Amino acid sequence: MEVPILKQGHYLIASIQSALTDADLSQLREALIERVGRFRARGVIVDVTALDVMDSFAVRTLRDIAHMARLRGAETVIVGIQPEVAFAMVQLGLTLKGVSTALDLEEGLAFLNVQTQLRIDRGPGRLDRG
Amino acid sequence: MATKGKDAQSPLPDPQAQTESTAALLRELVAHLRQNRTQLREEWARRITRAQLLTAMTEEEIFAEATSVYDNYVEALETGTFEALQAYARNLSERIIPRGVETHEVVGIVLLLRDVLARSLFGKYHEDFDKLNRILDAYEPAANRIANTVAVGFVQERERIIRQQQEAIRELSTPVLQVRERLLILPIIGVIDPQRARQLTEQLLRAIRTNRAKVVVIDITGVAAMDSNVANHLVQTVEASRLLGATVIVTGLSPEIAQTLVTIGVDLSEMATVGDLQGGIEEAERLLGYKVVPLEELTPKA
Amino acid sequence: MSRPSSESTADRDASTVADDLLIPITADVDVVTARQRGRDLAAEAGFSSGDQTVIAAAISEIARNILMYAKRGEIALSVVANGDRQGVVVVARDQGPGIRDVPRAMQDGYSTSGGLGLGLPGARRLMDDFDVVSDAGKGTTVTMKKWRRMNA
């Protein structure tokens, strides 16, 4: 099950449509990293609204995506975590610490806009996007 | 006097025959109860009134329920199975509990029915003392089981209703308030058991989603006691809220509670805390205000 | 911190409400199947949406464990009733290498960076009853349960 990845301006948006196996998640990670590099993306949004469970592997993968994207100069936001999923996650001890989260796509885009704006304001010296 | 099957034999030492004769006796008994249904039911209703039970119900209602109970009672005697009776008992309880009927009344009327039927058996078999004894041997265990089933069914139903009411009270006593756009306040008051804590968190998370809240102020000034369990729940709530994109400010943290949190290993630098609720709301507005300004140019809803 | 593997008397009296579902775990996709079935079963048994998610997450962790360490195994799901409680029972079995030191494995391997570690401690946090029977070379059986009070 391949996850569709859209390009919107300088951002990449990955919308998960249904339950993903571990292999699917790994594939998503590879696909995103590749595109971040190819398009010199400044932001990545992963929409997990459709996921009704997020376990340790899913969380680890999302963290990997955020980490690798940042190394390539892109900020990542995870959006659409369902209330029950969030609750189960914290009980499991998974906190997505260090990864930005937002309520939904709209909020995620708004967040990225602020982030990239800040980055531009700060001028050169930030991580290059090569 | 119609009797089904063969005449009952005197009990044999053989247990198989004994079981068969018990079955035959029960059949005879059930036939008698069915045949005299009308007058036995009326006698029972009279006794109920005399004992001043079911005062919350009208005569018509008592009669209607009495009919059902009687028929179910006799059927339980006949089939020897009690699932249908159990289901009926819960059903009946569901109907009469809101009317204010109490446990002692339900137990009372079932025992009265048992007595009325027993008396009628005395009446029928009074000339054959030996047979009367055998009939009672068959009747009593079954009748007692019936009384037990109905009483337990009633009590279980009561307990279920009480739990439901407690649940409703819990929901009411933990309101999540929306005071500004994108800002929620959750004042926590009183004792927090694990179940209530979980409910709080679930309610808050749903509210964050529904109201698209960006900041939540959790005020714990009114929390009765903060132990490590409650503290953990609080931390979990803060973390889960963050996953939904909301920032949490905890207010009302006394120095003692702050100490408890530190002792159990909570990293307070991760949790925004402000002294009192008012200060927390101001901080929240500041956060919201700060975030709104640069976005106004960028988001569709300006 | 490992618990003895005996079942409590109360559980022995529990009666099975729904037939066992047996899900073989041999591939990636089985992890998804197992947690979906677990969720559905919990839903049928009347568990809240939140609890369904929790049960699904716990199953996911345990199922992945089987794949990672034993390569193959199975998960049995059932619903039991005990008095006025109803419970979802998950039994995960494999003939893998086994866990030599169960108490150590049950320790929190989850740092905030979510490092590697067996899914056991996490799953235990999610479920009400949790039991691991395992030894080196003897495979592993994890039994976990989540309960709810029945409302008629």
Per residue in B131-152, pLDDT tens?
999 999 988 988 999 999 989 8
Q: How far apart are the first and last CA of chain C?
A: 37
Q: What is the DSSP letter of C23?
A: E
Asked, for residue A130, whether it belongs to a domain, the answer is no
Render each residue's pLDDT in chain C as its tens digit; 152 residues: 344 444 444 444 456 665 678 999 999 999 999 999 999 999 999 898 899 999 999 999 999 989 988 999 999 999 998 888 899 999 999 998 888 777 877 776 543 333 455 578 889 989 999 999 988 888 999 999 999 987 64
Per CB distance under 8 Å, which residues of A are interface residues toward C? 19-23, 52-57, 59-60, 63, 82, 84-85, 87-89, 91-95, 97-98
Asked, for residue A129, whether it belongs to a domain, the answer is no
> Apex CA B120: angle with CA B117 and CA B124, to 5°?
140
> Apex CA C13: angle with CA C10 and CA C17, to 5°?
115
Locus of tokens 């005990």: C82
Residue C7: CB atoms within 10 A of its CB come to: 12
Asked, for residue A30, whether it belongs to a domain, the answer is yes
The residue type at B216: V
Distances (CA, A) of B297 to A114, B292, C35: 11, 9, 44
- Asked if residue A35 has pLDDT above 50, the reply is yes
| Count of structural domains, chain A | 1
Query: What is the distance between the alpha carbons of residues A92 and C126, in angstroms, rounded to a whole number?
Result: 6
The residue type at C45: A
Range of the domain at A80: 5-124
Show which subunits contact B, needing at least 3 CB pairs below 8 angstroms: A, C
Environment class of residue C46 by beta-carbon count within 10 Å: exposed (0-12), middle (13-18) or buried (19+)?
Answer: middle
For chain B (302 residues), the mean pLDDT of every run of 10, in chain order, is 45 54 86 92 90 86 86 88 86 86 90 92 91 90 90 88 79 74 87 82 92 92 79 89 93 82 76 82 82 51 48
Chain A residues 77-96 with a CB less than 8 Å from chain B: 79, 81-84, 86-87, 89-91, 95-96
Between A54 and C19, the higher pLDDT residue: A54
Distances (CA, A) of B250 to A91, B276, C16: 20, 9, 45
> Apex CA C90: angle with CA A24 and CA B193, to 5°?
100
Among B181, B206, B209, B244, the residue to mutate for chain A (most A Cβ within 10 A): B244
Torsion of CA B71, B75, B78, B79, to 10 degrees: 180
- Report domain C14-149's class: alpha beta
β-strands C73-82, C15-25: how paired? antiparallel
Asked, for residue A104, whether it belongs to a domain, the answer is yes
- Every domain of chain C and the residues it spans: 14-149
> CATH number of the domain that A105 lies in?
3.30.750.24
Asked, for residue A73, whether it belongs to a domain, the answer is yes
Computed over every residue of chain B, the mean pLDDT equals 82
Residue B127: CB atoms within 10 A of its CB come to: 7
Query: What is the distance between the alpha carbons of residues B25 and C43, in angstroms, rounded to a whole number?
Result: 47
Rounded to two decimals, the pTM is 0.68
Q: Would you call B202 and A83 a contact, using CB atoms and an 8 Å cutoff? A: yes
Per the DSSP assignment, residues forming a β-bridge with A124 are: A126
Locus of tokens 């376990």: A55
Closest CA to C144 of C63, C68, C72: C63
Chain B, nearest residue to C152 by Cα: B160
Q: Would you call B163 and C50 a contact, using CB atoms and an 8 Å cutoff? A: no
